[in-house]
Structure 1
């Protein structure tokens, strides 16, 4: 079965005050449990803010490192999930369910891409 990477993109400067609510975390926990029991979820995690990150770039033989936060970025990857689904349609359905558990106060985007197998 193919594997898919779902990258959750968020605007760090435009999220709900205080981050995810306890209710959202409860709904997310229930969905994660359901996906795990269904054998679909292989791995998932949220990421720390860009203020705690760094960007490394290799360009024309030169390595540069930029410490966060990355003010020029509107959307950043805030979390990810690796799922295994029978096809792209099933991967879409799980991803849509994840997005829908968020309240109207959230503006998030999920980029879904199949993982290339050797």
Structure 2
């Protein structure tokens, strides 16, 4: 099963490198190396602050672009990674091993798999869906 892991931090967290943040990045690098060595880590990246973000909002048939930062945000997504795990219990076990900096949270969300889309796509599309570990047109494995 694939899961996306979101790293969330307080919206007002400074991105100025402090000695604590330098150590935090080093600890996360070591943790990511452990995920890679275990064959769990698929992909990941850190994200720039919301002040550099854009949001496209649907308003009926029209769309509006909103510049970040976005109002009322207490937490923001600071990064993400994609893991290949056998189940949510394994994902939780890995998340519990992550360095604890006492200032954020991690959210784990499973991807839709081909079987989850039964009833939404045709049987032919499901049969053509890639097997576990592969990606296809439906964005599922």
User: TM-score, with normalisation over the residues of structure 2?
Assistant: 0.72
State the partner residue of 1:112. Answer: 108
Q: Which runs of 5+ in 1 are unaligned?
A: none
State the partner residue of 2:7. Answer: 8
Deviation at 1:59, TM superposition (A): 2.6
Deviation at 1:12, TM superposition (A): 2.2
Q: Which runs of 5+ in 2 are unaligned?
A: 115-141
The DSSP-based 3-state class of the residue aligned with 2:56 is strand
How large is the Cα RMSD of the aligned pairs? 1.9
Distance 1:5 1:51, change over 3 A: same
**Residues 28-107 of structure 1 mapped to structure 2, 5 A cutoff:** 28-98=28-98, 101-104=99-102, 107=103
Q: For residues 78-117 of structure 1, give each alpha carbon's deviation from its aligned partner in whole angstroms, at most 9, with x where no partner exists.
A: 111100111110000111222xx1334xx21111111001
Deviation at 1:77, TM superposition (A): 0.9
Deviation at 1:11, TM superposition (A): 1.3
Greater relative contact order: 1 or 2 (C-alpha under 8 angstroms, separation 6 or more)?
1
User: TM-score, with normalisation over the residues of structure 1?
Assistant: 0.85
| Total equivalences in the alignment | 113
Deviation at 1:17, TM superposition (A): 6.4
Structure 2 Cα separation of the partners of residues 112 and 71 of structure 1: 24
The DSSP-based 3-state class of the residue aligned with 1:70 is coil
Distance 1:52 1:17, change over 3 A: closer
Hey, which of these two has a bigger chunk of strand by percent? 1
